[in-house]
Amino acid sequence: MRELAVSKPVQGRILKILAGFYFVDLPDGILRCRGRGRLKAQNESPMVGDLVTVEPIDAEEGTVIDILPRRNLMFRPAVANVEQLVVMAAFAAPDPNRLLVDRLLVTGEFMELRVVLCVNKSDLSGDPEFTAPYIAAGYPVVELSLSDDEDLSPLFAELRGRVSVLAGQSGVGKSSLLRRLRPALDIAVGEVSEKTSMGKHTTRHVERIRVADWEAYIVDTPGFSKLELPAQMRAADLSDYLPEMRSLREYCKFGHDCRHVTEPGCAVKSATESGEVSQRRYDSYRMLYAELDERERSQYR
């Protein structure tokens, strides 16, 4: 059993939260902690990824007594202090949920995270043009197949030295990827329902996983099919979070006031008609804009 100075506060990082316990990564091991009552009284909730001060009770358990300032915070999935968002999809089985992919990319841009698109199941027949709009927009895109022993070094190059949150719909291979990265992990791998062609949830909680071989952390998140856009995001600013549209805004007749919907002289609409901007990405923009606009209108009813 490791030795730890009892009652001497130390700093560590929350790896996972499970059954009311915070599992904190310390230099000499993982400490299972409860939160101090003062945090609840101040309405502060520790999140996975938080740098915290803990007070050990013994060699195995302790108490979280303080949360250090956060670099950023995502609410769904709930995780703090990330540098990069890895959006994972699949070419087929399940078919890519393009709106969810775009929703995640927009969220990453809003949070000023580096964003990478990782597309699994390249061995299956699917839409060969799925990645084209994202490559054109300037996103790093990695295509792979986790069903074989394919070299994952292109993905490693994107993850090395960073804290990345892994997100995407169920069944695209997130758990399979983590098992390739850390074979010792006890992670269940889900299947795709033959009836619905949708992935089954396998990840049950958010967990920060250390991959020591290349000095990186991966935050695994439960699969989901719905992600709310950040509460602070405004419809008027949405095109700022799509790189291919952001660069065109200044050429619109109405500049920053252009919604890129019905306005004349809109550079984004012209670029979409000419094929410079993907029609699918523009369709996602219209749907996300309508969602944000409706949310803003409902606040004043």
The answer on 94 and 203 residing in a single domain is: yes
Report pLDDT for 190. Answer: 45
The answer on 156 and 43 residing in a single domain is: no
Report pLDDT for 298. Answer: 93
Report pLDDT for 181. Answer: 82
In-domain check, residue 164: yes
In-domain check, residue 282: yes
The answer on 185 and 84 residing in a single domain is: yes
User: How many structural domains compose the chain?
Assistant: 3
Torsion region of 264: left, alpha or beta (phi above 0 gives left; psi -120 to 50 gives alpha): beta
- What is the 3-class SS of 133-193, one letter each residue? HHHHCCCCEEECCCCCCCCCHHHHHHHCCCEEEEECCCCCCHHHHHHHHCCCCCCCCCCEC
Contacts of 49 (CB under 8 A, 6+ apart): 13, 14, 79, 80, 81, 82, 163, 208, 219
Q: Pick from 170, 195, 220: which residue ends a domain?
A: 220
Contact 167, 104 (CB under 8 A): yes
Contact 79, 203 (CB under 8 A): no
Q: Output the pTM of the full model.
A: 0.83
In-domain check, residue 22: yes
Q: Pick from 220, 251, 278: which residue ends a domain?
A: 220
In-domain check, residue 142: yes
Question: For residue 278, what are the domain limits?
Answer: 235-298
The answer on 155 and 100 residing in a single domain is: yes
Report pLDDT for 196. Answer: 40
Report pLDDT for 198. Answer: 41
In-domain check, residue 242: yes
The answer on 204 and 129 residing in a single domain is: yes
Phi and psi angles of residue 39, each rounded to the nearest 5 degrees, phi first: -65, -40
Tens digit of pLDDT per residue, the chain (301 long)?
455 445 689 999 999 999 999 999 998 889 999 998 888 777 888 999 999 999 999 989 999 999 999 998 887 668 899 999 999 999 999 999 999 999 999 999 999 999 999 999 998 877 889 999 999 999 999 999 998 778 888 998 999 999 999 888 888 998 889 888 877 665 444 444 444 444 444 445 788 888 766 678 898 876 555 678 999 999 999 999 999 999 999 999 999 999 999 999 999 999 999 999 999 999 999 999 999 999 999 988 7
CATH number at residue 177: 3.40.50.300
Closest CA to 39 of 54, 49, 26: 54
The answer on 288 and 258 residing in a single domain is: yes
The answer on 176 and 93 residing in a single domain is: yes
H or E stretch at 16: strand 10-18
The answer on 144 and 255 residing in a single domain is: no
In-domain check, residue 111: yes
Q: Is the dihedral angle over the CA atoms 207, 50, 4, 7 positive or is it negative?
A: negative
In-domain check, residue 226: no
Report pLDDT for 194. Answer: 44
In-domain check, residue 106: yes
Residue type at 297 in one-letter notation: R
The answer on 187 and 82 residing in a single domain is: yes
